Structure 1
Amino acid sequence: MRLIRHASALLLLLVLAACASGGGSSSVPQPPDSDASVADYLIGVDDIVQVTVWRNPELGVTVPVRPDGRISVPLVGDVVAGGLVPEAVARDIESKLAAYVRDPQVAVILTDLRSHEYLSRVRVTGAVRQPVSLPYRQGMTVLDAVLAAGGLNEFAAPDRASLFRRNSSSGATTPYAIRLDRILNRGDLSTNHRVAPGDVITIPERVL
């Protein structure tokens, strides 16, 4: 009798596992973390950067990058920003501020990506009410971009939508599946990917 109970329990577990794998959303490739794309962004001329110094708010400043690639920071003067990542600029400012401030802790944040305006945009095309090219904003998701395009039109095939992302090192473009039908109708956010600068979201029309 005990053997039969164990066999029944094992069979029940197998059935439940099969139902879970078949009834849930299928496993689809996930795009790489979009935060990495932002972290690797090189500051350019006309970008707006915000410099903050912990416990020294009077040393903070929000300025555009000048044509010579520099910004002006209180106490330390001109600092090279163009062609560098924000983290490198922050460390440079810290080293210069150390002569005036004890153990300075500096953060450099890009608040407006102007130098790479088109490279940093997110585009939504296909069966939406208003195809759109949006400035990238940190934390933006597929759903944010689609809603900014006015949502889907009556001809959309939301279960066949895709996000296309270009690899900056190899130049190859990789598609990632988006199940907009599940995002919009079921609240299933498993494919509500965070977008990255340069992403293209395409929603095809359904076959009539």
Structure 2
Amino acid sequence: MRVAPALRAFGLSLLLAGCASTAGITAGAPPAPAPADEYQIGADDIVQVSVWRNPELSITAPVRPDGKISVPLVGDVVAGGRTPDAVAKDVQDKLATYIKEPQVTVILTELRSHEYLSRVRVTGAVRTPVSIPYRQGMTVLDAVLAAGGVTEFAAPDRSSLHRKAGDSAQAYEVQLNHILEDGDLTTNYKVAPGDVITVPERVL
């Protein structure tokens, strides 16, 4: 007779645990934006080609109008319309003829091509709506601070990040007040070229 209450208590504890688990999933952070397509190098972009342990082969140069760069020993390499990783792999394969197991990295140091597409825009209830050049590692907070921060009329926790993906666009919730006031960086997403951050005004 004493077993039934114990079983009921055990079953209740399992039910509560299940509810807590479900609540945790529902109340979790909003989904982060998917990474944008990796940037493709264009004419006039400045690239840095580094060859590990071979500084004499490392260069920093603009991409020529024909989309190529000149690398010591290798000669001309096509960079335009390709990702930095693809160019690094190409240079690495070509250098393997001359040096043993080369390790090559290619980094974009300045984005000069695709001027419109390689910018990030901040609009709405900010001090100075801006269109700023994208740089690697830039976050939502960086862009908003470049716009002078939000105004007293802003509803920062209803902000959003808009990103184009192919023929469609996706909006992601940005809890800007949590970022600015609480230091909660959960929605301080890294931005991508072409992103638009909007900060709406609060309803009076």
Coarse TM-score class (shorter-chain normalised): 0.7 to 0.9
Q: Which residue of 2 aligns with 1:51?
A: 49
Deviation of 1:133 after TM superposition, in Å, equals 1.0
| RMSD over aligned Cα atoms | 2.3
Read off the aligned partner of 1:160 and give its amino acid letter: R
For 2:127, what is the secondary structure of its paired residue? Answer: coil
Residue 194 in structure 1 maps to residue 190 in structure 2: yes
2:63 to 57, 62, 65: 65
Read off the aligned partner of 1:175 and give its amino acid letter: A
Residues 5-44 of structure 1 mapped to structure 2, 5 A cutoff: 6=10, 9=13, 13=17, 26-34=28-36, 37=37, 40-44=38-42
User: What is the CA deviation profile of residues 30-82 of structure 1, one whole-angstrom value per residue up to 9, with x for unaligned ones?
Assistant: 21024xx3xx3221110001001111111100000111211111122222211
Q: Normalising by the residue count of structure 1, what TM-score does the alignment of the two structures yield?
A: 0.85
Q: Structure 2 CA distance, aligned partners of 1:49 and 1:75?
A: 17
Q: Which residue of 1 aligns with 2:177?
A: 181
Deviation of 1:121 after TM superposition, in Å, equals 0.8
Q: Structure 1 CA distance, aligned partners of 2:25 and 2:93?
A: 54
C-alpha contact 2:155 2:202 (8 A) present in aligned 1 = yes
Q: Normalising by the residue count of structure 2, what TM-score does the alignment of the two structures yield?
A: 0.87
Q: Which residue of 2 aligns with 1:132?
A: 130
Q: Structure 1 CA distance, aligned partners of 2:19 and 2:82?
A: 55
- Cα pair distance change 1:89/1:129, threshold 3 Å: same
Q: Which residue of 2 aligns with 1:115?
A: 113
Q: Structure 2 CA distance, aligned partners of 1:58 and 1:26?
A: 51
Q: Which residue of 2 aligns with 1:157?
A: 155
Q: Which residue of 2 aligns with 1:83?
A: 81
Q: Structure 1 CA distance, aligned partners of 2:22 and 2:83?
A: 47
Q: Structure 1 CA distance, aligned partners of 2:15 and 2:78?
A: 66
C-alpha contact 2:29 2:186 (8 A) present in aligned 1 = no
Deviation of 1:199 after TM superposition, in Å, equals 0.5
- Cα pair distance change 1:18/1:115, threshold 3 Å: closer
Deviation of 1:116 after TM superposition, in Å, equals 1.4
- Cα pair distance change 1:112/1:10, threshold 3 Å: same
The sequence identity of aligned pairs, in percent, is 63
Residues 92-103 of structure 1 mapped to structure 2, 5 A cutoff: 92-103=90-101
- Cα pair distance change 1:101/1:28, threshold 3 Å: same
